[in-house]
Chains A and B, each alone.
Chain A
């Protein structure tokens, strides 16, 4: 059981590194690739939490994340990117800013007295991924890249949601509701 939780922490770290990469990559294909890997890590982390908490709803969430975020969304985004000719975006300077944001997020979580069942590492990683996603929305110049920032931020919220104890299943839908924002964005990108 603790092995599964260790795996979840490790995957949280992997998601964090990938979120930093998404901030800095110039080409949109590379950003989509990083997002695909990040989604796969999120699906695995969710599965690990499902194993550790022996919670059926989380298994469903893990499979949904894998199917929607790691397969369907990247495919659709690649299609849109080919169709609309996106400019390059992202910069190493934004990545430096991102590192500062991560340090701040970790400091913010460090002071909190958490219940024993919630790992500080999970929460710090989730908050960092969310903040980095918002930072990508602010700093990237390409529209699809900005929407990928929202997608990454939504993954951060999902990571937090699955590691909280006994969160009602309806609330995990919150992470899915967040996907409506990038969906609407892609709709606007594709408008003539």
Chain B
């Protein structure tokens, strides 16, 4: 029997990781890594056309497909970039971790099972801890420890939350694997046990919120910046992206149950806290990469806030923001030098008009105004403080441009962000609309 496309998307990176771990030649392994990432992107782009029946373990919802394509695209850019920015020394562990990260991010969003989603995110987080250890310095060891504690705490909370989610779904779906399937829980939400579901939601929101870089466990996203830049900076965004998707799913489940706590407010509080944290923290001087990661905390907070608002329009705004921010942030980590590249990236990241982030920010603000004008005040203040800090305080760089080859990945990501902001072709707009209609 031939494995289905989603299965291939999970197995290909894992097989590539095993192969790259064995490949001793430095010059070949970089190209092999690029090849595997490119093949992954081709397979990901085929996903929307393969209308397959859902399997036992994997399923392809619109939002899941979107995130797989997004992270595969960023993965290819990162693979290209790491040809120029790979750390010195043996690259086998580096490339293996690179592919494991890609594979676990794909599995986390494609998994149609809450326990499998959890396991994939655990694999991704622990791969990042190992990536932080790669430089082998004392600072790297300290950062790896901090990351292990924070991500570990988040994973423990989500493990217990997953068990409670199962317990809540048993009255509706009966004991067995079905009570863990996202696609089964969502329609059965009204018949789930409301109180257990609420308890599960609180634990899962704290844990997955932490993995998404939201307070109070946001520190791991800063600690991971000790890892080589292509892993800790460019690729690490896939883990928060997957965690945010889980939060969106949970929102759908909780919304369907009348006895459970209303999920929106809690998600919005967590998101707003992250936005304000970034708005204040970005004004303090700190190493550039930690500073960029702190800006990710704020932007993920905006996404969570939008998901918390609820409704198709706000969900669309959140997904658009997640996409535009992932692209702009991937470009920012790949733009170490060159005045033009840096200025463009900075503009994209700060949310200035021609880029996608501007449009999505306006949408989120507009949606929050619909829920209450007072909501716009803290959100707008946080977003503006963060954007302004980005424009004013991004440290100056070497003005000489890097070669076209080194910055090609950054420009590809910027082009994506520009496409979302400037052009927004009808096909892409339809794609986002379909996603928001199903996912909310």
Q: A residues touching B (Cβ–Cβ < 8 Å)? A: 108-109, 111-115, 118, 123, 126-127, 130, 133-134, 137-138, 143, 146, 150, 153-154, 156-157, 160-161, 164-168, 170-171, 174-175, 177-178, 180-181, 184-185, 188, 191
Question: B71-88 CB contact bits vs A (8 Å, 1 = yes)?
Answer: 000000000000000000
Query: Please, which residues of chain B bring their CB within 8 A of the CB of A156?
Result: 160
Q: How many A-B residue pairs have CB under 8 A?
A: 105
Contact B157 A113 (CB under 8 A): no
B126 at the interface (CB under 8 A from A): yes
Report if B399 contacts A (CB, 8 A).
no
- Nearest residue in A to B178 (C-beta to C-beta)? A168
B422 sits at the interface (CB 8 A): no
Bound Cα distance A170, B167 (Å)? 16
Known: A134-B156, A174-B162. A114 touches B167 (CB 8 A): yes
Question: Contact: A134 with B157, CB < 8 Å?
Answer: yes
CB-based contact B119/A146 at 8 Å: no
B residues near A, CB below 8 A? 115, 118-119, 122, 126, 129-130, 133, 141, 144-145, 148-149, 152-153, 155-157, 159-160, 162-164, 166-167, 170-171, 174-177, 180, 193-196, 199
Q: Knowing A112-B193, A137-B153, A166-B175, say if A178 contacts B159 (CB, 8 Å).
A: yes
Q: Would A167 and B175 be within 8 Å (CB), given that A113-B193, A137-B152, A143-B145 are in contact?
A: yes
**Are B193 and A174 within 8 A (Cβ)?**
no
How far is A165 from B173 in the complex, measured between Cα atoms in Å? 12
Q: Given that A115-B171, A143-B145, A161-B163 are contacting pairs, would A130 and B195 also be in contact in the complex, using a CB cutoff of 8 Å?
A: no
The 9 closest A-B pairs by CB, nearest first: A166-B175, A181-B152, A112-B195, A153-B156, A112-B196, A171-B115, A157-B159, A160-B163, A165-B175
Partner of A130, one of B115, B160, B162, B166: B160
Q: Which of B115, B133, B171 contacts A174 (CB 8 A)?
A: B115
Can you list 23 A-B pairs with a CB-CB distance of less than 8 A? A108-B199, A112-B196, A113-B193, A114-B167, A126-B160, A130-B156, A137-B149, A138-B149, A146-B149, A150-B156, A160-B163, A161-B163, A164-B166, A166-B174, A167-B166, A168-B177, A171-B115, A174-B159, A178-B122, A181-B122, A181-B152, A181-B155, A191-B133
